[in-house]
Amino acid sequence: MPRISESFDPAAVEWRHVADLSNSEYKVDFEYSLLGYDLESGRLDMLLRYGKGGGHCRRHRHVAATATLILEGEQFITDLLPDGSTKQVHRTKGDYALSAADAHPHNECGGDDGGTVLLSMHAAADGVLFEYFDENMQNPWTLSIQQYVDAWIKGTTYGEGPKQSAA
């Protein structure tokens, strides 16, 4: 299993920045770091970091089963439920959660002072980790473990949307 980092120390890993100013509903602004992966088994471990001021990641759902551990700060999640309602989740440093594959779409951000999250994901046989949506919950696109790893190796960030076949 390739290991990219020997530490989950936020000061010791390489961070990649993602920002999308085209979203008018919320500010997409976060960093991520790949810790390690196993393409054959579909396993990928990564860090996700939100800066101060509540930057969000893209609206998405986890297709892969995911373990989450809050290392620093806070994580706020708004699950978008099938009946149109929402469910709020607030996690703080030390909180741990498991989610099954095929989770609800959600919005996710850090708290006022940001947050750092460890995600350990296990994709199904097709290798898909995430499904992303535009701000209108339309035009979905997926991101596989292979696309994620390929982008990391190339030194780029992962897929920007359905117009790109990979990162």
Mind listing the pLDDT tens digit for each residue in 22-36? 766 677 788 999 999
pLDDT bin (cut points 50, 70, 90) of residue 58 is confident
Tell me: pLDDT of 161 over 60. no
pLDDT bin (cut points 50, 70, 90) of residue 120 is very high
| β-strand partners of 53 | none
Nearest-angstrom CA–CA distance, 40 and 58: 27
What pTM value is reported for the model? 0.86
pLDDT bin (cut points 50, 70, 90) of residue 127 is very high
Nearest-angstrom CA–CA distance, 159 and 145: 11
Tell me: pLDDT of 163 over 60. no
Nearest-angstrom CA–CA distance, 96 and 157: 26
Give the pLDDT of residue 164: 37
Give the pLDDT of residue 11: 84
Q: What is the CATH number of domain 16-154?
A: 2.60.120.10
Give the pLDDT of residue 39: 94
